[in-house]
Amino acid sequence: MAGNDPRSPRRTPCEVRPGDRPDPAMISVAEARRVVLAAIAPLAPRRVDIGKAPGHVLAETVHAAEAVPRFANAAMDGYAVRAADVAHAPVRLRVTGTAAAGDGPKAAVSRGEAMRIMTGALMPSGADAVCMVERTKAEDGGLAVLIEESVSPGTNVREAGEDIAAGTEVFALGTQLGPAHVGVLASLGIQALLVHPRPSVGVLSTGDELAAPGDALIPGKIRDANRPALLAQLGSDGFHGVDLGIGGDDPELLADRLRAAASRCDAIIATGGVSVGDHDVLKVALEKLGGAAMHSLQVAMKPGKHIAVASLGEQHVPAFGLPGNPVAALVTYELFVRPALRAMAGCQVPGRPRITAVAEADLTRRRGPKLHLVRVTARTGTDGVLRVRPSGGQGSHMLMAMARANALALLPDGDGVRAGGRVEVLLLDADGLSLR
Ligand code: AMP
Ligand code: MG
């Protein structure tokens, strides 16, 4: 690729270089994503307990069989009163009793009366407002109360059904459930519901150069970074990672392993051996198993470029072949596999926000019609503006910059972005984004 190096001193600006011309076999990231997603269907719905529901996507629409709050209750500790009685406060009322949270119905509050009431307690009939305790003075050892401030009807009362009216739609099919959703479902007395399962995903590293974990590194061998990194990524994305170990560079053996994996996983990710070299055996193995349903794609992106996707066995288990270079493996996972796994989980949005940031340093790219994904650190300053800078060396084998990055800057065709310019970024991790 020396001829494609923009630092080459012998080149004139108008010279056409091989990398400038689109390779006819090369497809855009968007096109590649379409090919990948075309092979994906949501997993069949399953009934789960609400405790297991967070992270899952609803496969049914949920309606409220009951109202929340179920009954009108006090929003404050104080005195339940008739608002009309305290319109000319200060006014003294007779205290008829106490209503605590959990108590059943009490005697009605009549004219000139008040009832001591605690937050969450059922409003006694007759009363239509609560005077907060801080604006009152107990008198006669608690038998009377001086109300110091008037209140209008409804003050400090939580009305029945004001959060959820009985019979209404609560969550639509396709809603991704989080902790607060679980709280709502629990408030409604719903214990189980129909969701799409989160896929279980097998991860296999391929390559004769990979030493088994714990083995001494003899010259020529390297440690396997992809499998642990992808298993960790799957875990943090809420999928179930299944460790399929290391496979060598024998296409027959790889095909056997992939076939066995397809019988116990919803999807498979294998890395290494998907480009065009003599040892790119994963592609051969996927072709053997996937037949016509295997797509070997050359994508106009960097890092990345070669990926493969196939459907294995009668269950059409999607198998993704990703590049061996660790950064390329993680970045192609982000762009293609993660959206596909989310689609299997029933998600209707691809995830990961794309937002505009300001470049704090020059973000350069090699020439050529490719989307460059630069590993960057993104931070918002005290002014709230998101700024990004490269997080380290950008080689596709250099995982350190990926470890430090919380975003990928997207540099389409062109000369890159100068310091101070605007750049679109794919946000990978919002925690730690803000210094405020
Ligand atoms: P390949 O895609 O098989 O041509 O591999 C590209 C580069 O990635 C080579 O330098 C491989 O040694 C390296 N590589 C492949 N698999 C892994 C892995 N699991 N962990 C770390 N590096 C790898
Ligand atoms: Mg290889």
pLDDT digits over 184-203, tens only?
999 999 999 999 999 999 99
Q: What is the pLDDT of residue 434?
A: 82
Query: What pLDDT, on the 0 to 100 scale, is given for residue 338?
Result: 98
Task: With both helix axes pointing from N to C terminus, report the angle between 281-290 and 251-262 in degrees, rounded to the nearest 10.
Answer: 50
Question: What is the average pLDDT score of the chain?
Answer: 92
Atom 10, ligand 1: which residue's CA is nearest?
325
pLDDT tens-digit readout, 34-55: 999 998 999 999 999 999 999 9
Q: Kindly report the number of other CB atoms within 10 A of residue 364's CB atom.
A: 15
pTM confidence score: 0.90
User: Do 363 and 423 contact (CB within 8 A), yes or no?
Assistant: yes
Q: How many angstroms does the Cα of residue 224 sit away from the middle of ligand 1?
A: 8
Q: 402 with 393: CB under 8 angstroms?
A: no
**Is 6's pLDDT higher than 70?**
no
Measured from the CA of 325, which atom of ligand 1 is nearest? 8
The number of the ligand 1 atom at minimal distance from the alpha carbon of 246 is: 19
Give the CA count within 13 Å in the CB-facing half-sphere of 4.
11
Which range is least confidently modeled, 309-313, 319-323, 328-332, 410-414?
410-414
* Secondary-structure percent of the chain, ordered helix, strand, coil, rounded to 5: 25, 30, 45
Nearest-CA neighbor of 226 among 246, 254, 199? 246
323-356 as b/e, with b when 16 or more CB fall inside 10 Å?
A: bbbbbbbbbbbbbbbbbbbbbbbbbeeeebeeee
| Pocket of ligand 1, beta carbon within 6 A | 205, 207, 209-210, 222, 224-226, 271-273, 275, 277, 323-326
Q: With contact defined as beta carbons under 8 Å apart, do 174 and 348 qualify?
A: yes
